[in-house]
């Protein structure tokens, strides 16, 4: 009850700001890296580079949706972050089981080891943030929901 309603529906402020900053860094990193890989040496490691491009797209979608207001953006964020988490888990496991298929690293290889495991932690933290009372409130804000997912549940 005492929770402040400030920034409801807006995930660009508060803790969301830090998450957004991290996503911005990953967008810059993955988009430029995959553009470089695909334009200069795609044939060397087509699988790894395709996965790099997929990761880049996922990060862009996550960044844009996290920076947007409203319930639709919230849903897009949840899906993007879930895909991201599934991706880092799948590619992470895959890169250990079949290293010969990954002659060059992707962001998600070895669970994001080359990036201090931030690719693994980021979607978990992001999903927690989206599903936490702040995030859930953000979803309720602007939607027609009438307190079904009230703060008391969480």
Contact call for residues 126 and 66 (beta carbons, < 8 A): yes
Footprint of other proteins on 33-52 (CB under 8 A): 36, 41
Q: Does 32 bind other proteins (CB under 8 A)?
A: yes
Contact call for residues 26 and 107 (beta carbons, < 8 A): yes
Taking the complex as a whole, the smallest distance from the CB of residue 17 to other proteins amounts, in Å, to 5
Footprint of other proteins on 8-27 (CB under 8 A): 13-18, 21-22, 25
Nearer to other proteins, 105 or 143 (CB): 105
Q: Which of 70, 114, 133, 142: binder of other proteins (CB under 8 A)?
A: 114
Q: b/e per residue, 58-70, with b = 16+ CB within 10 A?
A: bbbbbbebbbeeb
Taking the complex as a whole, the smallest distance from the CB of residue 150 to other proteins amounts, in Å, to 25
Apex 4 CA angle, 139 and 2, nearest 5? 115
Based on its alpha-carbon atoms, the radius of gyration of the chain, rounded to whole angstroms, reads 17
Q: Under rule CB under 8 A, how many of the chain's residues touch other proteins?
A: 15
Under DSSP, is residue 19 helix (H, G, I), strand (E, B) or coil?
helix
Nearer to other proteins, 90 or 101 (CB): 101
Contacts with 69 (C-beta within 8 Å, 6 or more apart), sequence order: 9, 10, 11, 142
Nearer to other proteins, 82 or 113 (CB): 113
Footprint of other proteins on 90-109 (CB under 8 A): 104
Taking the complex as a whole, the smallest distance from the CB of residue 148 to other proteins amounts, in Å, to 29
| Residue 62 to residue 20: CA distance in whole angstroms | 9
Which residues form the interface with other proteins (CB under 8 A)? 13-18, 21-22, 25, 28, 32, 36, 41, 104, 114
């Amino acid at each position: 009850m005492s929770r402040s309603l400030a920034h409801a529906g807006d995930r660009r402020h508060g803790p969301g700001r830090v998450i957004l900053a991290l996503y911005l860094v990953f967008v810059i990193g993955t988009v430029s890296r995959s553009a470089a890989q695909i334009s200069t040496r795609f044939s060397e490691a087509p699988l790894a580079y395709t996965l790099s491009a997929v990761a880049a797209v996922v990060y862009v979608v996550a960044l844009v949706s996290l920076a947007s207001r409203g319930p639709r953006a919230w849903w897009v964020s949840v899906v993007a972050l879930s895909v991201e988490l599934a991706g880092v888990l799948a590619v992470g496991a895959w890169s250990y089981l079949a290293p010969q298929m990954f002659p060059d690293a992707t962001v998600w290889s070895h669970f994001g080891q080359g990036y201090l495991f931030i690719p693994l932690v980021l979607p978990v933290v992001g999903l927690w943030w989206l599903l936490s009372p702040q995030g859930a409130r953000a979803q309720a804000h602007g939607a027609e929901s009438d307190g079904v997912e009230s703060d008391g549940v969480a």
